[in-house]
Structure 1
């Protein structure tokens, strides 16, 4: 429902009511007089026949017009006659629906028969809230000259509004608004200017369109009191040389696209009571002239682009009942904003930049605000405590101070607000205990949100709350360790969130009876054990399609039980569930969109019933023990956006039918036993952003069409498969790519120079979407490795651009173009046959944290630019042919592990013990020997002797073993490493001893 309709329910002034209903009052008075004077006058025959024809043209599925039988039409439902003359005065066939789910069944439809023209005295026609299926508003309605009231709102009429309605010169009330169907348009409003008696005009949600001069014709209506143009696709407010409609009391221009300052001519409408400019792009300062409109009772400026302080002139609006500034960037303190607005019933300052503390009642601004019913301050920068004196706002029904910087405890005085229905203090820094005394008189409370603070609920196990809640949000509150027993008294709960509530208990027996129909349940991030609770179909028809059951990250065990067909989100991940996923036979009514069972102990095959759930958006069955093949029928799920079966025991080829998943954004098949080549049909997955095929047995070359067709890819992981051949240059067409991993394959050839075209890695923006935007309750994960250790990241992690080509057969030089990828976080080229020099421009990679070039054939010196990598935490240059001095300075000084450089015999300098030519001997090691005296000398000679002895003996054993072919192959790598290590140790030991003898440092 539009926000302005909600506002209409609050504080309507008597003057507006008189204007809106004066016409109806006069007609009712006339009708009552007629009944008293002429009780025996019946319906006129010609008009009765006209109504019969009218009914015959209508469709009436719910039989609403069943009373339209017999001769006296004045007794028919919706027909009002004058007992003075017998003429039909009113025809009221609006749809009196009271059940949204059955609304369509109670609508009248069909056509409007011209027989209505025979109702010459008809003054009131109401066909609102029906469905005439896009038929045009009949032109002949413009001939009903006595009409003073016409309401065709939300009745499913379509096309252009006929200009013939401009002939209704007696019309005082016209409502053509179309919030339900949005099928009506208007090419101009000149015809409106002819309705000289009009007092109420509502054409909301009707497309007026750009370029139409809508204001001048309306300005000619000097009697107009109410004007509503919500959602008319208006872009500009034409200038007015004079204001003619000064009788206007209510102006509603919500939900258009006005991009301007507030027009100054508004200050000339001195009788204005209601002004709603919400949901536009108004900006600039609030005109001081608005302060002249002393009669204003309602101001709505929400959802605009104001970024200023409130002008002091608004303090003159002493009659103001509603002030709605939601969703702007207003600044300043609360004290100066509302100081003199003492009659306020509704104050909504949410979603702005207001600061300061919540004023206290004692002598503060809230001292005169005892009429406040709704106080909404969420999403600002308000700090300090909730004042104790807020408990004096005894008329308060809604209090929302969420998402600020409030601290301190929750005052006990809140428990005195006996009319309070909604309390939201979530997302602050509030701390301390909350007891039953905080809720003493809150008998009307239906919404309680205290999530994400530092609060603990400390109530008696026998406590019976005075309220019946519908929405309970206690995430991150300390409620445990036992499951809160007071919840069994809350029998009307629609939403219950106990995320991370320190509960380590089993689900109590009463839970199934009380909460089996609940629409939103979040018990995640606790230590709840035992069997899953039972749920049944919800009996709340209004919320069909919104049911969410989130029980992840607990210790639920046993089998996965059947779940209700009306659940849209089922998240049971990170538990101890076992057994097969149960087969559901009747899937016709299933509304499942998110099916998340990851990180359990489920076994068996992926059930095929999932293929028939057409509403499915994503499936996450990762980290289980599932086996078998990927069902071919998954290709039927046209809405599927994420499929994750990572870390199971699935095998076989990828079904070609997956190429039919046009909307698929993420495909995770990592760490299974899939094999074969890429199905060519996967080139149809043009929406794909994440493709993870790592740790399988896929074969063949990397298909060039990945770069040609999958242009939205951000994450491509082909690690640990059996791919061979060169990296196709067309991979470089993936300008959005931020993570490329083809490690541990049999890739050959050179690194393509076009890798510099990976624009997303140049721009340093990190993974942005990765297909994880489908639901706020689900986080998609990607897996990458550093130092050989796998790490899991969310797909929205920043600064995670990565290239891993390690452990292949790639040769050639490292391309200079790689050094242009300024956003790179990890670069791993280890275990290949790369040669040449490390590029001098490697210092450009300012963001790199992990750099591994080990086990290649690189030569030359280490570039000095390496010391400019300030974020570098992992470096490996070992086992190359590098030479010269190791650079010093900055981050390199902290990387003092010698293994970083081992296997490069020509390197010298710290942290190696090998000095470079012309350097002073390395100090810090030699002096310690002198202090140890003669014992140290003998100790060193002991090891100097035993070292070569062990070395000779070791070589003898190795030589013996090497005559056996099987032993030679098995231990060749080990012997080589030990040999190199012993050579290095012996050389270092001998060098130290020789140096100390020369210096005469041994002896007493």
Structure 2
């Protein structure tokens, strides 16, 4: 027992305790209060409030309760642990405000409280005597940092992260005093200011700077002094920066300037860089206003692995020096004005290429056959909205890792290759994730997550973190002919099959029900005929269907799936049955003729009824009067006798007096 009282470290991480933190602290109190230096209970399913009892452990140096379900406030008694150096309470449900007593922890070196629900204001008092503080991470909390613009902190930080807290609108001037800062994360902090010119010069140690998702404006200073570290990264994306691209140091490893208002040519940025090769592995200039031709200066940037130039106004052809990017894994050129033919000599060296996005340009010629041989690791091929013509080459079928094939809205013709069933990733449901990100990061940087935009379920959707789960074929808006190949139904893990606006004929493959993961089918505006296969009704995940404007006929297969769609999914065919209003006969034909016959019979019945009523009314209108009115009856028979006599006379004499005689008889009555 005496030995237990001398314990200095308790590390029970990863054990399923399923107990409250209060119970655990009670069991550790007593003799351990004067000896315990380390308490680590990460990933242990601990819950409840972290009570004042934590203040009993006077000798505690390190406290790690991360990845649990601890709730309630951080107790003020934590500030009484004068020996405390390391505190990690991340990924819990801690709430309320941060106690000012933490400012008395003179030995505190690391405070990590990110991913909680701590709110309120963090002021200068919270850091009053924290002279030893080196690492402070409080991101993803509804906290507000409120200090004076002239505040000089008592510490020299190495890492400061308050991403998704509130710091703005002014850029924090106290940062300039931090000469040892290596990581500075101020993303999504409501900053709306001009970037001060000293921001990339204040610390020679700075290698990761994240200012994304703010409203910063003005020009970006040159980054030539940034990156004394080998793996420096700068993220200024999703702001309002304008003007030309800044010059960068050869040491910068990752640069993200996407989604700003940057304009002008890219030539100076690429060609005026230092003479030594660039260390850049990830360059993102997407969603700006950059224009002009792509210069032929890419040979110094051969270390690039991820390149985003999409959503700009670049024109001309791809320069020959593009072929020097031999480590390229992800290339995004979507929505520019690039043209020409994709040259084998330029792109054949991309043996590591995983993503190739060429959509929304003016590339022409045939779809390159070398795509099926050189980039054997290709998983995402998008070349929609271009000017490619000819057929889809069978060589593409060699891309057995392909997950996304988008050749939509070109001038392609001829049948769909039967060898599409070679896309094995689309055919096999994976037991584990392949990952769709690129490890271009170093140090504390996160991996570069791939992103892509394509049409699914009738509307454009952008995927990023879940892109690895997406399998799509989109061949819409071409002039493809022939049948939908039966072999395509082997792609049982396909998510979306988009084939509208083509010249496809024949029947829908009868085994389409084998594509069990399908969520979206669009075969509209083709020349498909025959019936809808019964197996289609077994596609349980199907949430979008468009078979409109074909020559399909017969009864829509019954089942909860197909009947749940709107009638617009089936219009322009000769189909019947729910959800369409026409019913079907026993042989599956629309019963419109039978319905019309019933309507005609209905009208004839009313005609005969009306005629009978008219006869009765007319008959009794005359005969009834003669029967019940004696005077009218005598007059009527005298009139008939007169007519009889005059007819006899008219037959003997002249017939021209006939009308006069009739009139005379009538007047005498």
Q: Which residue of 2 aligns with 1:714?
A: 379
1:347 and 2:38 correspond: yes
Which of 61, 74, 81 is matched with 1:386 structurally? 74
Greater shift in the superposed pair: 664-673 or 480-489: 480-489
- Which deviations, in whole Å up to 9, do the C-alpha atoms of 1:15-66 show, x marking residues without a partner? xxxxxxxxxxxxxxxxxxxxxxxxxxxxxxxxxxxxxxxxxxxxxxxxxxxx
Cα distance in 2 for partners of 1:512, 1:712 equals: 38
How far residue 498 of structure 1 moved from its aligned partner, in angstroms, is 1.2
- Label 1:998 to 1:484 Cα distance change in 2 as closer, same or farther (>3 A): farther
1:902 and 2:593 correspond: no
How far residue 699 of structure 1 moved from its aligned partner, in angstroms, is 3.7
- Label 1:655 to 1:508 Cα distance change in 2 as closer, same or farther (>3 A): closer
- Label 1:317 to 1:578 Cα distance change in 2 as closer, same or farther (>3 A): same
- Which deviations, in whole Å up to 9, do the C-alpha atoms of 1:549-585 show, x marking residues without a partner? 322211122333444554433322222223344737x
Q: Residues 38 and 62 of structure 2 are in contact (CA less than 8 Å); yes or no, is this contact kept in structure 1?
A: yes
Q: Secondary structure at the match of 1:810?
A: strand
Q: Which residue of 2 aligns with 1:673?
A: 338
- Label 1:568 to 1:726 Cα distance change in 2 as closer, same or farther (>3 A): closer
How far residue 994 of structure 1 moved from its aligned partner, in angstroms, is 7.5
Q: Secondary structure at the match of 1:684?
A: coil
Q: Residues 418 and 487 of structure 2 are in contact (CA less than 8 Å); yes or no, is this contact kept in structure 1?
A: yes
Q: Which residue of 2 aligns with 1:746?
A: 411
Cα distance in 1 for partners of 2:110, 2:524 equals: 62
Cα distance in 2 for partners of 1:322, 1:376 equals: 12
Which of 245, 260, 263 is matched with 1:575 structurally? 260
Q: Which residue of 2 aligns with 1:79?
A: none
Cα distance in 2 for partners of 1:524, 1:681 equals: 34
- Which deviations, in whole Å up to 9, do the C-alpha atoms of 1:169-194 show, x marking residues without a partner? xxxxxxxxxxxxxxxxxxxxxxxxxx
Q: Secondary structure at the match of 2:119?
A: strand
Q: Residues 321 and 343 of structure 1 are in contact (CA less than 8 Å); yes or no, is this contact kept in structure 2?
A: no
- Which deviations, in whole Å up to 9, do the C-alpha atoms of 1:126-182 show, x marking residues without a partner? xxxxxxxxxxxxxxxxxxxxxxxxxxxxxxxxxxxxxxxxxxxxxxxxxxxxxxxxx
1:550 and 2:235 correspond: yes
Q: Residues 516 and 536 of structure 1 are in contact (CA less than 8 Å); yes or no, is this contact kept in structure 2?
A: no
Which of 159, 163, 166 is matched with 1:478 structurally? 166
Cα distance in 1 for partners of 2:345, 2:219 equals: 44
- Which deviations, in whole Å up to 9, do the C-alpha atoms of 1:46-100 show, x marking residues without a partner? xxxxxxxxxxxxxxxxxxxxxxxxxxxxxxxxxxxxxxxxxxxxxxxxxxxxxxx
- Which deviations, in whole Å up to 9, do the C-alpha atoms of 1:563-616 show, x marking residues without a partner? 4554433322222223344737xxxxxxxxxxxxxxxxxxxxx64748953423
Structure 1 gap segments, 5+ residues each: 1-290, 295-315, 585-605, 923-983
Cα distance in 2 for partners of 1:381, 1:835 equals: 59
Cα distance in 2 for partners of 1:522, 1:430 equals: 22
- Label 1:385 to 1:581 Cα distance change in 2 as closer, same or farther (>3 A): same
Q: Secondary structure at the match of 1:867?
A: helix
Q: TM-score, normalised by structure 2?
A: 0.77
1:772 and 2:438 correspond: yes
Q: Which residue of 1 aligns with 2:653?
A: none
Cα distance in 2 for partners of 1:718, 1:866 equals: 29
Cα distance in 2 for partners of 1:522, 1:992 equals: 75
Which of 316, 320, 327 is matched with 2:7 structurally? 320
Q: Which residue of 2 aligns with 1:694?
A: 359
How far residue 738 of structure 1 moved from its aligned partner, in angstroms, is 0.3
Q: Residues 347 and 374 of structure 1 are in contact (CA less than 8 Å); yes or no, is this contact kept in structure 2?
A: yes
Cα distance in 1 for partners of 2:541, 2:604 equals: 43
How far residue 866 of structure 1 moved from its aligned partner, in angstroms, is 2.8
- Label 1:899 to 1:325 Cα distance change in 2 as closer, same or farther (>3 A): same
Q: Secondary structure at the match of 1:858?
A: strand
- Label 1:360 to 1:894 Cα distance change in 2 as closer, same or farther (>3 A): same
- Label 1:995 to 1:472 Cα distance change in 2 as closer, same or farther (>3 A): farther
Cα distance in 2 for partners of 1:705, 1:650 equals: 25
How far residue 715 of structure 1 moved from its aligned partner, in angstroms, is 0.7
Q: Which residue of 2 aligns with 1:644?
A: 308
Q: Which residue of 2 aligns with 1:936?
A: none
Greater shift in the superposed pair: 856-865 or 614-623: 614-623
How far residue 772 of structure 1 moved from its aligned partner, in angstroms, is 3.1
How far residue 433 of structure 1 moved from its aligned partner, in angstroms, is 3.4
Q: Which residue of 2 aligns with 1:453?
A: 141
1:913 and 2:604 correspond: no
Q: Which residue of 1 aligns with 2:216?
A: 528
- Which deviations, in whole Å up to 9, do the C-alpha atoms of 1:834-854 show, x marking residues without a partner? 222212332333332221111
Which of 382, 385, 394 is matched with 1:729 structurally? 394
Cα distance in 2 for partners of 1:772, 1:881 equals: 46
Q: Residues 318 and 338 of structure 2 are in contact (CA less than 8 Å); yes or no, is this contact kept in structure 1?
A: no
Structure 2 gap segments, 5+ residues each: 607-669
Q: Secondary structure at the match of 1:415?
A: helix
1:412 and 2:80 correspond: no
Q: Which residue of 2 aligns with 1:831?
A: 501
How far residue 545 of structure 1 moved from its aligned partner, in angstroms, is 1.7
How far residue 397 of structure 1 moved from its aligned partner, in angstroms, is 1.7
Q: Residues 188 and 213 of structure 2 are in contact (CA less than 8 Å); yes or no, is this contact kept in structure 1?
A: yes
Give the number of the structure with larger relative contact order, counting CA–CA contacts within 8 Å between residues 6 or more apart. 2
Q: Secondary structure at the match of 1:410?
A: coil
How far residue 858 of structure 1 moved from its aligned partner, in angstroms, is 1.3
Q: Which residue of 1 aligns with 2:472?
A: 802
- Label 1:510 to 1:662 Cα distance change in 2 as closer, same or farther (>3 A): closer
- Which deviations, in whole Å up to 9, do the C-alpha atoms of 1:850-869 show, x marking residues without a partner? 21111222112222333333
Q: Which residue of 2 aligns with 1:619?
A: 283
How far residue 711 of structure 1 moved from its aligned partner, in angstroms, is 1.8
Q: Residues 860 and 884 of structure 1 are in contact (CA less than 8 Å); yes or no, is this contact kept in structure 2?
A: yes
1:424 and 2:112 correspond: yes
Cα distance in 1 for partners of 2:484, 2:326 equals: 37
How far residue 796 of structure 1 moved from its aligned partner, in angstroms, is 5.1
- Label 1:457 to 1:888 Cα distance change in 2 as closer, same or farther (>3 A): farther
Q: Residues 610 and 634 of structure 1 are in contact (CA less than 8 Å); yes or no, is this contact kept in structure 2?
A: no
Q: Secondary structure at the match of 2:495?
A: strand
How far residue 373 of structure 1 moved from its aligned partner, in angstroms, is 1.4
- Label 1:608 to 1:770 Cα distance change in 2 as closer, same or farther (>3 A): farther
| 1:783-822 paired onto structure 2 within 5 Å | 783-786=453-456, 789-794=459-464, 797-822=467-492
- Label 1:610 to 1:419 Cα distance change in 2 as closer, same or farther (>3 A): closer
Q: Residues 472 and 496 of structure 1 are in contact (CA less than 8 Å); yes or no, is this contact kept in structure 2?
A: yes
- Label 1:345 to 1:583 Cα distance change in 2 as closer, same or farther (>3 A): farther
- Label 1:774 to 1:512 Cα distance change in 2 as closer, same or farther (>3 A): closer
How far residue 371 of structure 1 moved from its aligned partner, in angstroms, is 0.3
Cα distance in 2 for partners of 1:611, 1:885 equals: 71
- Label 1:574 to 1:854 Cα distance change in 2 as closer, same or farther (>3 A): same
Cα distance in 2 for partners of 1:372, 1:885 equals: 76
Q: TM-score, normalised by structure 1?
A: 0.53
Q: Residues 655 and 679 of structure 1 are in contact (CA less than 8 Å); yes or no, is this contact kept in structure 2?
A: no
Cα distance in 2 for partners of 1:473, 1:828 equals: 44
- Which deviations, in whole Å up to 9, do the C-alpha atoms of 1:483-513 show, x marking residues without a partner? 4455566565443211111223344688688
Across the aligned residues of Structure 1 and Structure 2, the Cα RMSD in angstroms comes to: 3.9
Q: Which residue of 1 aligns with 2:532?
A: 862
Q: Which residue of 2 aligns with 1:962?
A: none
Which of 863, 875, 879 is matched with 2:549 structurally? 879
1:373 and 2:39 correspond: no
Cα distance in 1 for partners of 2:601, 2:84 equals: 87
Q: Secondary structure at the match of 1:706?
A: helix
